[in-house]
């Protein structure tokens, strides 16, 4: 039951919302937090409590960002104005060439007439993922990824969870339609914290903040995005109705006035030499910035000149990205080891003498595969140049061959799996060698870790270390064994490093993992080429594990009517279809599948929301509504796929 709020409560709620927005901005945009995380949480809790108690929640409250229900798939959004990317320059000389081209083209365009000054705006090129936010009637209605520039994916559910993205624009002159472009990114510190958490859960780290941001924004479950501290900087506009911008710098200032986050490090420059100086300044400051910046974006300020300059098929002629050099360091390869992955892939990894690159200690670099090692001729004992492009896992750029002493040893890909000794296989069309033994302890371990991972059955606490221990001590041999661990609770609790409490937590998490969706289950099996997306496609198509299995077996028997061939399912294709038949054709896998189906409670995918008669239609609200505010009603219509006029 909700209570009636008095005036003071209403004021406090408003005050808390303003405070939270203020602190979000201090943290994400200005990098100058004034309160601790705990104090922030306190404000947030107080607001949530008041809203719940007095029924005061509004759609634009900071508390309303935490995600709703997961989606079954993304729908696509067409960009009204294509989202282009930028041409690069790599030196001051190339930057001056760009400036020269701009002037030459404008001269030609103007045919001798004076076109006035050409100022530039410079902005840090933040390394993240481009998105478009659409505000209709000043309310955030759609957010989409850049995609191929023409159409992107609808990620509104996730973008709504980003704290500094206003759910509604403020300011009397905010336009009725505004399409804003910006970059979704993760701050370095938040990125490091996210990877620490993943490590604790036994999940693989994200390679760099860009991948982490992209992975988060492309999650079907908005709760996952909400749990990641994403941020945005807006840097441009698409379609606008109800406002005329004259310059890029004015547009950025206006976006900020209307409540959108804009990078405070933008700067207007009146000559290309000033731009070059700004580049050097920013490069100097790069390491100290709280987010990854990979260059300086330079744009002609006046929009009329931008229009005159136009674009090639790929890039605008009025802007360019002046890229920063990669983060490089020199170190020595102590040893080349071979790791065995879940699919049996044997990956050579360089173990390095620890070295600092861009503020991080690097101790290993992936060498990808045998051919890559040969091509770069990387030997044990070599001095190498490594690059970390904001990446956690660095690459070897090249060997410094001048420093060879003759004692270096060439790498030979082992002919046998380094863990189980099975003869390694390499098919002519592949670059990787594989351990073919599906019972190889290394593969089994990775398979179980994958099975329990966040996108799989999501069994908390069942990461690399715990799985290794359970395997070593003979408690499990395959994923199905996890579900009979309860019978050996006392024995497990006696193991060093476990203890009653952690065993109970683990058993509880395993129990909770039993209740899952078909998509998660299919993904968790680790079938080659069947990632999250394909697992979802298969789940939607077949609805139950039994139906999926039947469909795959039918293929095998070549009894399938044309229309039901797996490979004809959009997005599946022959490669994945073959991988599925190979998987189920293996007796061990198919037995495992059966025992898992028996243990698990696999939920059928929800049908796409039955068309409520609202989807696609336009609704106009006027006057006062009885049971909700106008904004709430509009939200509701949008949530059901309708449009608000």
Strand partners of residue 385: 330, 398
> Which CB atom, from 139 or from 293, has the smaller least distance to ligand IVH?
293
Q: Which of 35, 265 has the CB closer to ligand IVH?
A: 265
Sign of CA dihedral 590, 592, 597, 603: negative
**Among 16, 89, 126, 336, which residue sits at the site for ligand IVH (rule: CB under 6 A)?**
126
Q: Which is nearer to ligand IVH, 123 or 370 (CB)?
A: 123
Residue 282 CB, nearest approach to ligand IVH (Å): 12
Burial track 447-462 (b if 16+ CB lie within 10 A, e otherwise): bbbbbbbebbbbbbbb
User: How far, in Å, are 5, 510, 597 from residue 600 at the CA level?
Assistant: 46, 10, 5
Comparison of 267 and 433: residue with beta carbon closer to ligand IVH:
267
By CB under 6 A, what part of segment 27-86 binds ligand IVH?
A: 84-86
Q: At its nearest, how many Å lie between ligand IVH and the CB of residue 335?
A: 38
Please state the closest distance from residue 73 (CB atom) to ligand IVH, in A: 24
SS3 355: strand
Out of 106, 118, 130, 552, the only residue in the binding site for ligand IVH (CB under 6 A) is: 130
Reported as half-sphere exposure (CB side, CA atoms, 13 A), residue 582 has a value of 14
- Alpha-carbon dihedral of residues 571, 572, 576, 577, nearest 10 degrees? -170
Interface pick for ligand IVH out of 236, 344, 394, 642 (rule CB under 6 A)? 236
Alpha-carbon span 355 to 494, nearest angstrom: 40
Q: How far is the CB of 79 from ligand IVH (least distance, A)?
A: 12
Ramachandran bin of 529, using left for φ above 0, alpha for ψ from -120 to 50, beta for the remaining angles: left
Taking the complex as a whole, how short is the minimal distance between the CB of residue 298 and ligand IVH, in angstroms?
Answer: 9
Q: How far out from the chain centre does Cα 60 lie?
A: 24
At closest approach, how far in Å is the CB of 236 from ligand IVH? 5
125 is catalytic: yes
User: Is 179 near ligand IVH (CB under 6 A)?
Assistant: no
Contact indicator for 2, 55 with CB cutoff of 8 Å: yes
Binding residue (CB under 6 A) for ligand IVH from 17, 23, 79, 125? 125
C-beta of 316 vs 573, nearer to ligand IVH: 316
- Closest distance of CB 603 from ligand IVH, Å: 37
Comparison of 78 and 628: residue with beta carbon closer to ligand IVH:
78
Among 153, 183, 478, 631, binds ligand IVH (CB under 6 A): 183
The DSSP symbol for 568 reads: G
Question: Of the two residues 297 and 345, which places its CB atom closer to ligand IVH in the complex?
Answer: 297
Q: In whole angstroms, how close is the CB of 212 to ligand IVH at the nearest point?
A: 15
Bridge pairing between strands 293-300 and 120-126:
antiparallel
Of the residues 125, 188, 299, 445, only one is catalytic, namely 125
> What CA–CA distances, in Å, run from 388 to 91, 192, 355, 397?
20, 15, 11, 10
C-alpha 208/C-alpha 351 separation (Å) is 20
Say whether residue 321 binds ligand IVH (CB under 6 A).
yes
Residue identified by tokens 């599925």 is: 580
Q: Decide: 138 and 144 in contact? Cβ < 8 Å.
A: no
Q: How far is the CB of 323 from ligand IVH (least distance, A)?
A: 10
- Write the DSSP assignment of 478-524 as a string of letters: SGGGGGGGGGGHHHHHTSTT--HHHHHHHHHHHHHHTEEEHHHHHHH
Among 51, 123, 301, 478, binds ligand IVH (CB under 6 A): 123
Q: Is 358 in the site for ligand IVH (CB under 6 A)?
A: no
Residue with smaller CB distance to ligand IVH, 153 or 183: 183
Positions in 139-168 near ligand IVH (CB under 6 A) = 146
Is residue 523 within 8 A of residue 531, CB to CB? The reply is: yes
Residue 363: which residues within 8 A CB-CB, separation 6 or more? 351, 352, 354
Round to whole Å and give the CA distance between 210 and 331: 26
Nearest residue (CB) to ligand IVH, 272 versus 297: 297
500: enclosing H helix or E strand:
helix 500-513
- Binding segment for ligand IVH (CB under 6 A), chosen from 118-126, 170-178, 224-232, 332-340, is 118-126
Nearest Cα to Cα of residue 518 among 454, 601, 418, 399: 601
CB of 86 or CB of 251, closer to ligand IVH: 86
Do the bridges between strand 88-89 and strand 319-323 make them parallel or antiparallel, or are there none, so unpaired? parallel
Strands (E) across 146-229 are located at 151-153, 177-186
- Is 384 one of the binding residues for ligand IVH (CB under 6 A)? no
Q: Is 217 in the site for ligand IVH (CB under 6 A)?
A: no
Q: Which of 128, 359, 83 is nearest to 230 (CA)?
A: 128
Give yes or no for residue 278 binding ligand IVH (CB under 6 A): no
Token pair belonging to 82:
């294509």
- State the burial class of residue 370 (Cβ atoms within 10 Å of its Cβ: 0-12, 13-18, 19+): buried
Instruction: Single out the segment in contact with ligand IVH by CB under 6 A; choices: 121-129, 217-225, 371-379, 504-512.
Output: 121-129
Give the x-and-dash track for 503-542 against ligand IVH (CB under 6 A): ----------------------------------------
Among 27, 120, 235, 521, binds ligand IVH (CB under 6 A): 235
Which of positions 288-317 make contact with ligand IVH (CB under 6 A)? 297, 316
Lay out the site mask for ligand IVH across 464-493 (x = CB under 6 A, - = otherwise).
Answer: ------------------------------
Q: Does 186 bind ligand IVH (CB under 6 A)?
A: no
Which position's Cβ is nearest ligand IVH?
130
Residue for token digits 């404008």? 106
Contacts of 254 (CB under 8 A, 6+ apart): 173, 243, 245
| Number of residues counted as binding ligand IVH (CB under 6 A) | 15
Sites for ligand IVH among residues 75-104 (CB under 6 A): 84-86
Which of 146, 201 has the CB closer to ligand IVH?
146
Using alpha carbons, select from 166, 215, 212 the residue that is nearest to residue 189. Answer: 212
Question: In the complex, which residues of this chain contact ligand IVH (CB under 6 A)?
Answer: 84-86, 123, 125-126, 130, 146, 183, 235-236, 297, 316, 319, 321
The catalytic residues are 125
């Amino acid at each position: 039951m909700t209570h009636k709020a008095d005036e003071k409560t209403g004021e406090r709620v408003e005050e808390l919302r303003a405070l939270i927005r203020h602190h979000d901005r201090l943290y994400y945009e200005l990098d100058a937090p004034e309160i601790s995380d705990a104090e922030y949480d306190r404000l947030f809790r107080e607001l949530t409590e008041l809203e719940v108690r007095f029924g005061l929640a509004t759609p634009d409250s900071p508390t309303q960002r935490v995600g709703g229900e997961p989606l079954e798939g993304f729908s696509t959004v067409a960009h009204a104005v294509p989202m282009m990317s930028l041409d690069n320059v790599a030196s001051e000389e190339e930057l001056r060439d760009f400036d020269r081209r701009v002037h030459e083209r404008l001269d030609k365009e103007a045919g001798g007439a004076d076109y006035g000054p050409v100022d530039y705006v410079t902005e840090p090129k933040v390394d993240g993922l481009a998105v478009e936010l659409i505000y209709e009637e000043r309310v955030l209605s759609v957010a989409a990824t850049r995609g191929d520039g023409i159409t992107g994916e609808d990620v509104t559910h996730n973008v709504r969870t980003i704290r500094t993205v206003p759910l509604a624009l403020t300011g009397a002159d905010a336009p009725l339609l505004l399409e804003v472009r910006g970059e979704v990114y993760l701050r370095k510190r938040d990125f490091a914290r996210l990877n620490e958490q993943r490590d604790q859960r036994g999940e693989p780290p994200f390679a760099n903040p860009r991948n982490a941001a992209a992975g988060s924004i492309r999650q079907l479950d908005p709760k996952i995005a909400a749990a990641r501290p994403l941020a945005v900087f807006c840097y441009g506009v698409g379609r606008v109705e109800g406002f005329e911008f004259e310059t890029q710098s004015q547009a950025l200032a206006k976006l900020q006035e209307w409540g959108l986050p804009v990078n405070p490090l933008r700067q207007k420059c009146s000559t290309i030499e000033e731009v070059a100086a700004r580049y050097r300044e920013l490069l100097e400051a790069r390491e100290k910035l709280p987010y990854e910046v990979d260059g300086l974006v330079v744009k002609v300020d006046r929009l009329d000149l931008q229009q005159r300059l136009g674009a090639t098929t790929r890039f605008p002629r009025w802007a360019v990205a002046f890229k920063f050099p990669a983060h490089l360091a020199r170190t020595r390869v102590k040893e080349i080891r071979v790791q065995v992955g879940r699919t049996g892939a044997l990956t050579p990894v360089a173990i390095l003498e620890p070295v600092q690159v861009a503020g991080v200690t690097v101790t290993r670099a992936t060498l990808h595969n045998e051919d890559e090692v040969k091509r770069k001729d990387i030997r044990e004992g070599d001095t190498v140049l490594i690059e970390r492009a904001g990446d956690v896992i660095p690459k070897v750029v090249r060997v410094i061959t001048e420093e060879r002493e003759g004692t270096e040893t060439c790498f030979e890909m082992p002919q046998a799996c380094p863990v189980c000794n099975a003869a390694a296989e390499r098919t002519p069309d592949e670059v990787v060698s594989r351990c073919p033994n599906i019972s190889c302890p290394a593969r089994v371990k990775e398979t179980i870790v994958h099975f329990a991972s966040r996108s799989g059955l999501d069994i908390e606490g069942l990461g690399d270390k715990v799985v290794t221990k359970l395997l070593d001590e003979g408690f499990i041999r395959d994923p199905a064994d996890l579900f009979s661990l309860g019978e050996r609770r006392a024995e497990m609790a006696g193991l060093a490093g476990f203890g009653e409490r952690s065993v109970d937590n683990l058993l509880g998490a395993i129990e909770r993992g039993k209740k899952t969706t078909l998509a998660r289950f299919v993904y968790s099996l680790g079938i080659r080429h069947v990632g999250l997306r394909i697992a979802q496609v298969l789940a939607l198509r077949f609805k139950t594990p039994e139906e999926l299995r039947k469909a795959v077996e039918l293929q095998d028997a070549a009894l399938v009517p044309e229309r039901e061939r797996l490979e004809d399912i959009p997005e599946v294709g022959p490669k994945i279809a073959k991988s599925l038949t190979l998987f189920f054709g293996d007796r061990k896998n198919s037995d495992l599948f059966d025992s898992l189906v028996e243990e698990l409670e696999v939920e059928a995918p929800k049908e796409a929301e039955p068309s409520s008669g609202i989807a696609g239609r336009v609704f106009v609200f006027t006057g006062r509504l009885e049971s909700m505010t106008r904004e709430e009603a509009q939200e509701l219509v949008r949530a059901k796929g309708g449009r608000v006029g």
